[in-house]
Chain A
């Protein structure tokens, strides 16, 4: 809202603007948003940003400490690992693998989850309860177990672990969508649409879906942090991305062997992972409380 209004008419911010105004009040969340944007930029432009090839081994430069150590150098900002690969470049590429793939997985899971959730929410009786119970049982099984089963069938690898994580992410979206639809269906604007003769698909596409965006974004940030944790955990357990790949979890695993003499090989990838997840959770938290506070006005 402008400070001094020249005209008599009042300006009412749209719901989206209201959300942004509420979000801006929380400075930590805004910092998280900047961090998130930073990782997004790294993910997109990583070949331009990385100083070295992530898999190039420099035989003369094994285990160089990071630049803040007394005997570290400036040419390798985060030092090098046991094979003489530049850690900074590996982290940058690792962000692309971990963050980018998680983002992709969340989008896929969101589409499938919203579709199934709409099916479950708009229908009644057997079909709805079948979807519910199937998903409840999937949700009851720990993600790692689903991943172990899928990897046992298909073999280890990044793509196979992606299937497992997508499968584990979908139920959350289905539940949220279904609960949201159930809630909205009892409202009056839906009744108005029904009285106008709108079909079920029409009600969903034109009345409910536009209102679902915020819920989906919030749910998406939650799913994103879960999926990053899962993908790196699988990489760490040698079930997901395999050794030469610069996935952050797999890098941590490689770092363990030299962790005692070169602690930065596990501190730096883990720290990157930690900051990534914190920034996502900050944005998600801030967004949720912004939406909650907006409704209070």
Chain B
């Protein structure tokens, strides 16, 4: 137990070190001067004195530079954005929750739909239900997410006018920021008409969530189906039948739990895909999330923003996947190492 914990801490620290090193090196790889890319300050706009101080720091050994960089990172001083001039840490902490919110709802929705359907398909293995679910899921994960989003917009927003085109909430509402998650913020605030604000926020949420959830749901259906089929073919299920349990009892007592264990880590592997889709969908729906922000940063050649955003997102992903891996490892002693997903 302690050994596993130590090993994972070690791994996380090593990966985070590599990521921080990478973000430092990126400042040198991006066009322009490294010091500008690291701080976001334009050398021409600074005073003589600040300039010479910066020069002094840059002329130092590269290891010393990295040491300073890390010091500034931990002090919360990530530099400022080229385009907006705001401190990057504020920008990131403003946009990241919006992305997490969107992906989390999409993930919950897909779990909610995908898991039962996956079980259904597996229990009706090689029957009509199974085949139709499989073909629907094939359609689902073949559809390009940006095309799906466009069709949804064309149909539901422009044709029918049911849902708004873009943004997070109607501009009429001004929600005080507390957590950055819009639904929680609405519930926390007390100055506005809560139900109207909630309705507006939900209406804005539906289309982007749906477009992300379609792909994720189909992945969950397929992974669940495979895992349940594999479990139901194993020998302890046969033994349970031999003891005279009804199919229902076998499924509930032995099938479900054993089938669910391998699903979680396989899903954790799909997390980067989910994030990529979320970033694309954000930019289509003008959702004020980190993906949209990063893509705008590319258009505006805002290198400090790209560096900071890359660091924030990859650290988030690494910590998320590693903690899921660790949980699985600690709860399921059979697992020696991570398996790869087959969908």
Q: Which residues in A have some Cβ–Cβ distance to B below 8 Å?
A: 28, 133, 136-137, 139-145, 148-149, 151-153, 156, 175-176, 179, 225, 229, 232-233, 236-239, 249, 252, 256, 259-260, 263, 266, 270, 273-274, 277-278, 281-282, 285, 288
Contacts and interface: CB of A to CB of B under 8 A. Distances in A.
A87 B138 CA distance: 27
B306 A149 contact: yes
Contact of B19 (A137, A252, A277, A288): A137
A141 B150 contact: no
Given A145-B313, A175-B340, A270 B158 contact: no
Contacts of B294: 145, 148
Contacts of B283: 237
Given A148-B298, A149-B310, A152-B303, 17 more contacts: A142-B273, A143-B272, A144-B275, A144-B279, A144-B291, A149-B306, A175-B340, A225-B142, A233-B145, A249-B144, A256-B150, A260-B154, A263-B154, A266-B150, A270-B144, A281-B138, A282-B138
Contacts of B317: 140-142
A151 to B, nearest CB: 6
A118 B239 CA distance: 40
B129 interface: no
Most buried by A among B31, B142, B150, B313: B142
B303 A140 contact: no
Nearest to A172: B340
B200 interface: no
B318 A137 contact: yes
Interface stretch (B10-18, B41-49, B56-64): B10-18
Secondary structure class of chain A's binding surface, majority of residues: helix
Nearest to A139: B272
B184 interface: no
Nearest to A176: B340
A214 B301 CA distance: 44
A277 B19 CA distance: 33
B15 A152 contact: no
Secondary structure class of chain B's binding surface, majority of residues: helix
Contact of A237 (B19, B26, B280): B280
Contact of A274 (B19, B147, B279): B147
B5 interface: no
Nearest to A279: B142
Interface residues of B, number: 47
Interface string B118-145: 0000000000000000010011011111
Nearest to B279: A144
Interface of B: 11, 14-15, 18-19, 26, 29-31, 135, 138-139, 141-147, 150-151, 154, 158, 269, 272-273, 275-276, 279-280, 283, 291, 294-295, 298-299, 301, 303, 306, 310, 313-314, 317-318, 321, 340, 342
Given A142-B273, A273-B144, A278-B138, A148 B30 contact: no
A239 B295 contact: yes
A239 B313 contact: no
B32 to A, nearest CB: 11
B306 A141 contact: no
A141 B295 contact: no
22 contacts: A133-B11, A137-B15, A140-B15, A140-B321, A141-B272, A143-B276, A145-B294, A145-B313, A145-B314, A148-B294, A149-B306, A152-B26, A156-B298, A236-B280, A237-B295, A266-B147, A270-B151, A273-B144, A274-B143, A274-B144, A282-B138, A285-B138
A151 B298 contact: yes
Contact of A28 (B15, B135, B145): B135
Contacts of A140: 15, 272, 314, 317-318, 321
Contact of A260 (B15, B30, B143, B158): B158
Contact of B310 (A133, A148, A238, A285): A148
